[in-house]
Chains A and B, each alone.
Chain A
Amino acid sequence: MVSKCLIKANSYYDSVTLMIITKEVEAVTGVENAVVVMGTEHNKELLDNVGLLNDETSSATPNDLVIAVKLVDDGVFEDIVKKVEELLNKRKTDGDEDYCPRTIEGSIKNMPDSNLVIISIPGEYAGVEAKKALMNDKNVLLFSDNVSIEQEKELKELAVKRGLLMMGPDCGTACINNIPLAFANVVKKGNIGIVGASGTGTQEIMVQIDRFLGGVSQVIGTGGRDLKAEIGGLMMIQAIEALSVDEATEVIVLVSKPPAYEVAEKVLQALKKCGKKAVVDFIGGDEELIKKYGFIPATTLEDAAYKAVKLCNNSVEKVNKLECPEFDKPIEEIETLAKSEALKLSNKQKYLRGLFSGGTLCDETLKLFSKNVGDIYSNIPLSPEFKLTNKEKGNNNCAIDLGDDEYTVGRPHPMIDSYGRQQMILKQAEDEEVAILILDIVLGYGSNEDPAGSLVEQIKQAKKVFKARGQYLCVVAGICGTKGDPQVYDEQLSKLNEAGVIAMPSNAQAVRFAIRVLKEVL
């Protein structure tokens, strides 16, 4: 055993830092004992009592920080010194690159060439900080929600006046000059610019463009309320104007939930003025209005991407006649698979349950299902009479947006943390009438580092429960991701397949497949 010490003369670190240092040092292999104290006489007496006093420690003064260790192995002391220096340097405030500004003004002073501020703080403070950024001529990505609609309008009007982008509030996805911001996927660079008032909707379009061998120039998020009457599409219009002068952008895609009619007109007028070809997906909105302005309406997010890629090298007239293929695989193969899944179901099983982390993917599912099958319940229903009656498990046919506020109180969003969805999967196993479970698996920056892996155990468990009852649980998943995403697409696919999940390359294909299975039993 050998005693060593590190003394930081005249050094003051807050108590949390000192506690962290103690814990980190104690955790190093080869450390028998560690004491982190100020060099007071009584502390030196203590160090002597525990065999940690040496000449160096004796010389410490009350205002010196003493890190005394008893080591099994002398060799680890250098590692300890290095670790301690790293931890202490995190708190430096004397103007080097470790400096972390506390305010927007401080940040701007520290990085005067910056042109974008990303804000993610509690909503009651976010608006004020966003305004400061705009007043300093910085574009803003406002990730925060719980900003009032009045404040949102004020911020967007200010941004428009100053020729800036005010992305948000509640904007989770953007990709500017090929740099993903917040939740975003790694996609090929290209000539399609996307403006989205919907996070996962935008992500789905991005990844599908990539899958159809197209590329993305810019992705500009507007926040979910931009196309409401109170805001009037201010930021979507601003973004369209920005893309109109972006040389890299030749085709524009707009995506949002159905806007108010007058807002839709304003947006489409701005798109017309811009002069570029465009695909518009107002997810279930008025297609005729879109066609009236000479643009191409999309029926699904995948379809929007498909048509945008086609539009790069074809005329509007030609693309208008095209249909995105229903499935990647030949239809015969799909039908055979759907039939074989349906055969395994028992007579009692008749319901589809969707558990989604992405709100727009859930919304697309609701629309496809209600158009092709019938009534479907949700916490974000298409009409009030289909509001979910059983929030804990779901009821009838339903698709639940687990990212909605009521499911995320006190816990992270399901795109990041799978706990909530894991529990919901297990609850479906308690219901003998459930036939099909449909899930979205969202990859990309910001998402869970292993979305598929985090669910497979519960999927396997649920399937076991159904099997024990002489039943079968059909599980279908739509993967929203690209081969470039950090989660490694092929590994995610492999995990899903291994768990008996039928994985589809888009949300629309997953829903269509699930509908085919369900129709076999109805």
Chain B
Amino acid sequence: MNITKNDIVKIGYKARELVLEESNNLIIHSVFQNAFNLICSNDFIVGILNETNVCTTQSLVFKNSVFNNIYDSKLKIGNEFKLFPLNEIKQIEVLDLTVPCLINPNKISRINDNVDKCLRILKKQCNSSIMACYLYGIKTIYTDMLYSKLGVYELNNKSSSLVDIYNRLQNIIGLGVGLTPSGDDFIYGFLTSLFFKYEYDNKDNKEIIKLTENLVKRARTQTTILSYNMLRSCINGEFNESIRKLALEMILSTNTENSLDKVLTIGSTSGADMVAGLLYGFKLLW
């Protein structure tokens, strides 16, 4: 596929790296309405998205018109997909999806107000989000399992060690509905909150990187390849642009409605499950 740098709206760090690796064969893995995935060496997935989607470190967002033209070339699963010339891709600046340096953050009390505001909005998602139901104690077929693996939410002990928290999270890898199961989305949201907390406290994040690596290792065999790749990006402390913005606004401002709405539109329940994880993290860690 012949492209120019003007065709690409955003590119994540890892996606750029994978695409520029000339020895990498990019094979069409899965195709959806507004996106398709390429798989390459070591089971890395590169998402090719149109502008309606949220950019992650492993995705490349094309202008809608360009995406439609690519899509219309009748993508066949298993076929190789080449993007060239690579020089054009080299010139594109990657989207920074790491946890930023936090300047003049709100006090914890103000952050807690934001969390409570978001929790009230999340409650409306309980008809579809398993993890929102978990937070609100609303019974679903998953409740008993979640209570036994994660603990009853209200009883979660704030003084739990990080190791303990990670152990519990590992128990819900691959659990729930969707290509990125609800448990994985929840973990993703939680890790966002955790990495931001370390930045807020100005702490060295080596410990949580190590713990995340171990969690992701388990995810390799316990969940879908797409979800595994989603969790994999957390090792480097990189999160999708929408949840990153939401976390940032919860810490820096008081106006979170718009960014919350954006996250909630991810997938059909993924966004809500991510928000549930993010707020769980804020409640437990902040």
Contacts and interface: CB of A to CB of B under 8 A. Distances in A.
Interface of A: 12-16, 18-19, 22, 35-38, 40-43, 45-46, 49-50, 62-63, 91, 93-95, 99, 101-103, 105-106, 109
Contacts of B224: 12, 38, 40, 62-63
A61 to B, nearest CB: 9
Nearest to A40: B174
A12 B77 CA distance: 11
Contacts of A43: 174-176, 181
A45 B174 CA distance: 11
A12 B179 contact: yes
21 contacts: A12-B29, A12-B179, A14-B32, A15-B178, A18-B177, A18-B178, A19-B268, A40-B173, A40-B181, A42-B222, A43-B174, A43-B176, A45-B175, A46-B141, A46-B175, A94-B74, A99-B74, A101-B72, A103-B68, A105-B69, A106-B69
Interface of B: 29-33, 37, 65, 68-69, 71-72, 74-77, 128, 141-142, 144-145, 171-179, 181, 183, 221-226, 267-270
Given A38-B224, A93-B31, A15 B68 contact: no
A250 to B, nearest CB: 43
Contacts of B268: 15-16, 18-19
B149 to A, nearest CB: 8
A446 B267 CA distance: 33
A90 to B, nearest CB: 11
Interface of B is mostly: loop
Contacts of A101: 72
A430 to B, nearest CB: 37
Contacts of A62: 174, 221-225
Contact of B77 (A41, A42, A94, A99): A94
Given A19-B177, A95-B74, 9 more contacts: A19-B269, A42-B172, A42-B181, A43-B181, A45-B145, A46-B175, A62-B223, A105-B69, A105-B72
B20 to A, nearest CB: 26
Contacts of B269: 15, 19
Ranked nearest first, the 4 interchain pairs of A and B with the lowest CB-CB distance are A40-B174, A106-B72, A42-B175, A12-B30
A95 B71 CA distance: 12
Contacts of A37: 176-177, 181
B159 to A, nearest CB: 27
Contacts of B144: 49
A14 B270 CA distance: 11
Contacts of B65: 103
A46 B145 contact: yes
B86 to A, nearest CB: 26
Contacts of B71: 102, 106
B134 to A, nearest CB: 14
Residue picked from B33, B222, B226, most chain A C-beta under 10 Å: B33
